[in-house]
Structure 1
Amino acid sequence: MKNEVQLITYADRLSGGTLQDLRALLNGPLAGVFGAVHILPFFYSIHGADAGFDPIDHTRVDPSLGDWSDIKALAQDMDVMADVIVNHMSSDSPQFIDYSKHGAASPYNGLFLTFDAVFPEGATEEDLMSVYRPRPGLPFTCMTLANGEKKILWTTFTPKQLDIDVQHPQGRSYLESILQALASNGVKMIRLDAVGYAIKKQGDSCFLMPETFGFIDEFAALCRSVGLEVLVEVHSYYRKQIEIAKRVDWVYDFALPPLVLHAFFFKTGKHLKQWISQRPTNALTVLDTHDGIGIIDIGADPSDRVNRPGLVPPQELDRLVEIIHINSGGQSREATGAAASNLDLYQVNCTFYDAMGRDDTAYLLARAIQFFMPGIPQVYYVGLLAGRNDMDLLERTRVGRDINRHRYVSAEVDSELGRPVVQQLLELIRLRNAHPAFDGAFSVEPTDDSCLHMRWINGPVVAELLVDFTDLRHELLFTDEGGTRRIAFAKAF
C-alpha cells in the first residue's frame, strides 16, 4: 500500500454515477490528490437491501456502473481496493434460487448456513443468548423454500443477507471465485467485510472467536497467494483490534474517530495520547466511513465491563454521544439507535463535519491529527467535501446510515470543491502525500493533557503538529530543503 491518502467512496454517489465518471473526477479536479481508491461494493446489484453489501453476483460489476474494463482502467491510474463480503450474500442470488428450488439436490446445498448445521441437536436458551449480534433479536430467519421445505437460515444482518458456511467446500469455492475475479481485474487490496461473524460455533459468541482468527489467518494467506493485500474490517473492543493487527496486513483504526471527538469535546488529549502509545501502526486511519461513528471501539468489553474497561470512562462516552446529537441540532438522534430503522446500536449516524458542529477550524485540525497518525489515511467522500447530514435522503429511505451517504451530482461536487474548508483539506492531503517526513520516525512530544504535539522526522526534514484543545490554537509546519512552511487555519500560536 502506498504511503499516501486514500479515497473511500461509492461509485455512484460522487459525481456522475458511473465508474468512468469516478475515474474522470480522480484524473480531473482531484488529480494527484489520492494514491488509492477504495470503491465500496460495485457488484451486481448495488440496489439491494444494504447498498451493495448484499451481492447477487459478487463476481460481476453492476452494469449501471460499468464493467470490469472500467475497474482495470482505474487500476492503471492508482491502486484500487474492493470489498470481499465474506459473511453473506443476497437471497436473490442464483445460488440461493437454485437451492430453494432443489434443496439437497442443488449443487449449492451446503453453501448457506442453516440453524441445524450449527445446532444439530437443537439449541438451549444459553446457546442462543451467547450469540453476539450488533442488532436486536436473534440472527435467524425462518423460510419456506420454493420446494416447500422449511428452513431456519442464519441471517446475521438482514433477512435478505444469507450467511455463508465458509467452512463448507461450497463456501470456500465461492469465496475463492471472488478473489480470482478481483485479482484478475487489477484490484490490489481487499477489505474483508463482516469477517468477524464468519465462523459459528455452538456454545460460543459466534464473533471473533479463536476459530474466527484461524479463518482470518487462512483466508488472508489465500488472498496473498493471488497478490492481494488484506484489510480487516471489525468493530469491536479495542484489544481485539490490536490482536487482529498482528495477523493481517492492515486493520482500521476505528478507535480514532470517537477519540478525536472526545479530545475536542472534553478539551483534553489524554485518552487520545494513551491510545497512540498502544495502537497498531499497520492501520488505515479514518474519521468517517459509510457506516456510523463507532462507540463500541472505545467502550468497555460488553462481556466483561469490570475487568476490560474502555479507552474512556463510560459516563464520558455517554456524554460524547449526547454532544454529537447537540452539535448536529438533533439530526444524528433521528438516525441513530432504534430510530429510522437503524439497527447498528453501537454506532452514531452523522457526518463527521456535523458531529464537530460545522466548525471549520476544528474539522481541519481533526483531519491534520488523522494525517499525522502512523498508518495510511483514508478519507470518506462525504468527509472530503465537509459534507452535511442528508436529512432528505434519510426521510426518503428511513435508513439511519443514509444520513451520511449523500448522492452528489457533478455540479454539486464542483461547488463543494470551491469551499475554503475543502480547499484547505485538499492542501493538507497533498502535503501528507508528498512530504518526505512521513516516511521517517514518528513521536508524540511531552505536553500537558490539554495539548497534543505530533512530530515526524526524516533526516533533515520535519513535519510537526501542535494542537491546544482548550482554544484550538495550533501550529502546523513542514520543513524541507526549501525552508519552513507554516499553515494556520485560525488561532495559530
Structure 2
Amino acid sequence: MTDAIQKELKFLVESHLSFIYPNADNGELADRLMAIMELDGSCMKPGVHANSWSQKDIFTITYGDSIRRDGEEPLETLHTFFNERLKDVVSGIHILPFFPYSSDDGFSVIDYTRVNDAIGEWEHIVEIGKEYNLMADLVINHCSSRSGWFDNFKQRKSPGADYFIETDPNTDLSEVVRPRTTPLLREVETLNGKRHVWCTFSPDQVDLNFANPEVVCEMVGIIKLYLDRGVRTFRLDAVAFLWKEIGTSCINHPKTHEFVRLFRTLIEHHSPDAIIITETNVPNHENLSYFGNANEAHAVYNFSLPPLLVNALVTGNSNHLKMWQMSMPPAQMGTFFLNFIASHDGIGLRPAEGLLNEEEIDALANTMQNFGARISWRTAEGGRPKPYEINVTLFDALQGTVRGPDKWQIERFICAHGIMFSLEGVPAIYIHSFLATNNYSEGVDLTNHNRTINRYKWDYDELCEKLDDGYSHHCKVLQRMRELLAIRIKQPAFHPNATQFTLHLGEQVFGFWRQSLKRDQSIFCIHNISDTEVAIPLSSINLISLNTWEDLVSGEKYTDLHKDLVLGPYDFVWLTNKPGV
C-alpha cells in the first residue's frame, strides 16, 4: 500500500469513527483497527462502482449439517454433495452459522473463533472456500449468554465486563422496535448484584455494546479471522438493531449505517473482491437504505420478494408484485439485490407491510396455515401482536391456492424459481428448495420452535436414492432447477445489473424485459402465475419483427408474431433475440 493510500485509508477510518464517537480522539483507534486488519503493506485501493459479479453468480443457503452421512463430518458430506450435484450451476455457498452455539440453530454464538465440532473443523471450511464463494454470517448484534464474554460480564472481569448494555428496568423503552414478543431486558446476577441487560431477540441472545470501542476491535478481529479462513462474502446478521439510543426506535440508527460503512472500508482494503450483504428484515424502503450511496452494503436481501411472490402465486393475481417491482430503483453499479424466496427462517411479513394491507397479510397467513405452516408473532405498537413470519417450506407453501391444494404444486414451485432466476439481482436458493423438502412438522413438535419446520436434516444416502429414482418430486425439482440455472448462467441479459422493465400483460401474468449491459441481448420473461391457461397476443409484447425470437426454456422459435403466446397454468417463457452460449 502506498503512503497516499495509507493516509487516505486512515482518513476514511477516522471519519467513520468520528461520526460514531464524536467526542473521542479516534486516531489511535483507527490505527488499531488497521493493525488488526494488517492494512499496512500491499493492499490495493478498492474500485468505485465496480462489479465483481455476473449472471454466473448463484448462491445456495445451507446449514453445515443439512445433509449428513454416518462416519463423516457433516461439512465434508456437504462439500461432497455440492461437488456431485450442484458445482456446475452454483458458484457460492452460504453456510449458516457454523460456530459453537446455545440456541437459535447457530445465531446465538458461544465462540466466534471456533467451528462447531459437531459439524467439522476450520480445515473443512477452508476447503469449501477454495472452490466456492464462501459466505459466512457475522452475527454482529448479539452473542450467546453462555459465551466467555458474558461469563466475564457476570464476573466483572475483562474481556466482557463492559461488552453488554445495562439498562434500568424503569426506563421508558416503549419506542423500541421489537422483532419478538419476549421481554427486551433480562435480569442477570453479577458480582455487583442484579443487572438488566438488553436482549433484542431472546434471553439467550445478549446484545453487544458497540458504544464501547473494545467491542468494535473484537468484531474487526473476527472479520480478519474469517478473511484468513477463506470467507469472501459477509452476511451482517440483524445489523439493523446494532446501535441503541434510549428515546429512539433503536433500529436503522444513523450510527448503525456508519458501522456498515466502516466495516466495508476495512474489508475492501484488505480484499477488494470481498462483499458485504446486510440482513435487514424490515419494510422495503428501510431495507434499501443499506445501499447508502453505493458505499454501504454491496448487496441487500430482496426481502419483499418472498411474501409478494407467494401471494401472487396463491391468489393468481400479480398486481401487487408488479406495483412493487415498478417502485424498486435499479441497483447502482457496484451493488446488487440478493434475490431469495425461501430461507432457514421463513417468509418474513414485515417487508410486505405497506405493500399488502393487513387483510391481505392475514389472508396469506391463513392460506399458509392451511398448508401446514406455523406463524411467528411480534409485539407491535401498543403491545398488540402482529404476524411477523410464516414458517413453512416453500415447496409446501406452493401446494395450492387460496382455494386449497391442487395438482400444480411442482409447476407452481418451478414457476416461482423461474421468476427469481430471471429477475435483476443474484439468486440465492435455500438447500431445501433444491431438494423440494416437505414441512418437518415433527421437528417443530420436538423443539417447540416454529422455524424447525424448514430445517430438516437429510441422510445423504436416503437423499441420493430419492434424487436418482427418476420419479420423486425431489428428483423432478432438482432436475428442473438445474436446467434453468444452466440456461441463466449463459445469458448476458441476466447479469445482476442488466436493465429491467416491467411488462403489463394482465393480472394473471408477471412479465418483465431484461437487456444486457452491452445492449446486444434482450429477454422477455413472461410467467403465468395462475392455475388457468392464458393467451397473450405476441404483438402486445413489442417483439421486434426483424429478429428471430426463441424461448430459452423450451427451445421453441417464434416467427409469426401475429399469433398468441399460449401459456398453461404456471408455464413461462424466456424469449430472446440472441441465445447465450
TM normalised by structure 1 equals 0.87
Provide the residue aligned with 1:207 in structure 2.
Answer: 251
Cα deviation, 1:168-217, whole Å, max 9, x if unaligned, reads 02211221111011111111010000111111111111111223223332
**Residue number among 233, 257, 276 corresponding to 1:230 in the alignment:** 276
- After superposing the two structures, state which structure 1 stretch, 421-430 or 49-58, moved more: 421-430
CA contact (8 A) 1:128 1:138 kept: no
CA contact (8 A) 1:166 1:199 kept: yes
- After superposing the two structures, state which structure 1 stretch, 132-141 or 247-256, moved more: 132-141
Cα deviation, 1:111-161, whole Å, max 9, x if unaligned, reads 122115xxxxx754xx2211111112431110112x362211111112211
Provide the residue aligned with 1:470 in structure 2.
Answer: 530
Cα deviation, 1:446-492, whole Å, max 9, x if unaligned, reads 322331222333355443321233335589xxxx9996543399655
**Residue number among 298, 301, 310 corresponding to 1:252 in the alignment:** 301
In 2, Cα distance between the equivalents of 1:55 and 1:322?
34
In 2, Cα distance between the equivalents of 1:112 and 1:260?
39
Paired residues, what number? 460
Would you say 1:52 and 2:52 are equivalent positions?
no
CA contact (8 A) 1:56 1:93 kept: yes
Provide the residue aligned with 1:289 in structure 2.
Answer: 343
In 1, Cα distance between the equivalents of 2:548 and 2:462?
39
In 1, Cα distance between the equivalents of 2:397 and 2:118?
33
**Residue number among 436, 442, 446 corresponding to 2:500 in the alignment:** 442
CA contact (8 A) 2:376 2:388 kept: no
Would you say 1:6 and 2:59 are equivalent positions?
yes
CA contact (8 A) 2:165 2:197 kept: yes
Provide the residue aligned with 1:422 in structure 2.
Answer: 478
In 2, Cα distance between the equivalents of 1:387 and 1:433?
25
1:84 alignment partner, SS class = strand
CA contact (8 A) 2:182 2:201 kept: no
Provide the residue aligned with 1:413 in structure 2.
Answer: 463
In 1, Cα distance between the equivalents of 2:534 and 2:425?
22
Provide the residue aligned with 1:141 in structure 2.
Answer: 186
Provide the residue aligned with 2:94 in structure 1.
Answer: 38
1:115 alignment partner AA:
T
**Residue number among 74, 77, 98 corresponding to 2:131 in the alignment:** 77
Deviation at 1:54, TM superposition (A): 1.0
In 2, Cα distance between the equivalents of 1:270 and 1:276?
10
2:245 alignment partner AA:
K
CA contact (8 A) 2:377 2:387 kept: yes
Provide the residue aligned with 1:275 in structure 2.
Answer: 324
2:482 alignment partner AA:
L
**Residue number among 335, 353, 356 corresponding to 2:395 in the alignment:** 353
Alpha carbons of structure 1 residues 435 and 473: separation in structure 2 relative to 1, 3 Å: farther
Deviation at 1:422, TM superposition (A): 2.3
CA contact (8 A) 1:6 1:36 kept: yes
In 2, Cα distance between the equivalents of 1:486 and 1:107?
57
Larger Rg: 2
Alpha carbons of structure 1 residues 175 and 344: separation in structure 2 relative to 1, 3 Å: farther
Cα deviation, 1:327-357, whole Å, max 9, x if unaligned, reads x1xx214x5449xxxx994101111111111
2:490 alignment partner AA:
A
1:468 alignment partner AA:
N
Report 1:30-179 matches (<5 A): 30-45=86-101, 48-101=102-155, 103=156, 105-115=157-167, 123-124=170-171, 127-145=172-190, 147=191, 149-179=193-223
CA contact (8 A) 1:155 1:162 kept: yes
The unaligned stretches of length 5 or more in structure 2 are 1-51, 379-384, 401-408, 469-474, 536-546, 556-566, 573-581
CA contact (8 A) 1:87 1:194 kept: yes
CA contact (8 A) 1:467 1:473 kept: no
Deviation at 1:292, TM superposition (A): 1.5
In 2, Cα distance between the equivalents of 1:467 and 1:134?
34
In 1, Cα distance between the equivalents of 2:253 and 2:534?
43
In 2, Cα distance between the equivalents of 1:441 and 1:148?
60
The unaligned stretches of length 5 or more in structure 1 are 117-121, 300-309
1:348 alignment partner, SS class = strand
- After superposing the two structures, state which structure 1 stretch, 246-255 or 217-226, moved more: 217-226
Deviation at 1:235, TM superposition (A): 1.0
1:18 alignment partner AA:
P
Provide the residue aligned with 1:454 in structure 2.
Answer: 512
Deviation at 1:314, TM superposition (A): 2.3
2:310 alignment partner, SS class = helix
Cα deviation, 1:218-277, whole Å, max 9, x if unaligned, reads 233233233231100011111101222233211000100111012122222111112112
- After superposing the two structures, state which structure 1 stretch, 346-355 or 91-100, moved more: 91-100
**Residue number among 293, 313, 325 corresponding to 1:264 in the alignment:** 313
**Structure 1: 4+ residue segments shifted above 6 A:** 480-483
Provide the residue aligned with 1:184 in structure 2.
Answer: 228
1:138 alignment partner AA:
P
